[in-house]
Structure 1
Amino acid sequence: MTKFWNNINKFPRFLFSVIIGFFLTTFYTIFELLKEKNKRLNISITIIVFISIITIILRQMLGIR
């Protein structure tokens, strides 16, 4: 039973490291692309459009204005 509780105590640290790893690997590729001047504008526009679409969808779903 002691092993079980040890594993349960380790789970939050494991979950935190998985989440941090996901964001680091995702944003690393974006930052590498932002180093090139030609791609900087394209990625910026793509991110702005993506956030705008998500905002519009959530507003319509939630009935806000």
Structure 2
Amino acid sequence: MYNFWGNISKFPRFIISVFAGFFLTTVYPVFRLLTNTKTNYLVGTLVLFLFLSLYAIVKLMLGYVYE
């Protein structure tokens, strides 16, 4: 039974390391793109467009009308 609770107590650290690894693996190529000036503007524009489109989608989903 001690072994069981020892494994359960390690689970939160495992979940945090999985999420951190996923985040770093996903975001690392974007940071490599930001080293070049041309791709820096492209990535910035794409991120801005992504946030603006998500804002519009959520606003329409919640029923707010553009005025």
Same fold (TM > 0.5): yes
- What TM-score does the superposition give when structure 2 sets the normalisation length? 0.83
Q: Which amino acid aligns with 2:10?
A: K
Q: How many pairs align?
A: 65
Question: Displacement of 1:22 after TM fit?
Answer: 1.4
Q: Which has the larger radius of gyration?
A: 2
Query: CA–CA distance in 2 between the matches of 1:59 and 1:4?
Result: 47
Partner of 1:62: 62
Partner of 2:28: 28
Alignment RMSD (CA, Å): 1.3
Q: Counting helix residues as a fraction of each chain, which structure ranks higher?
A: 1
Identity %: 40
Which consecutive residues of structure 2, in runs of 5 or more, have no partner in the other structure?
Answer: none
Query: CA–CA distance in 1 between the matches of 2:64 and 2:7?
Result: 44
Partner of 1:53: 53
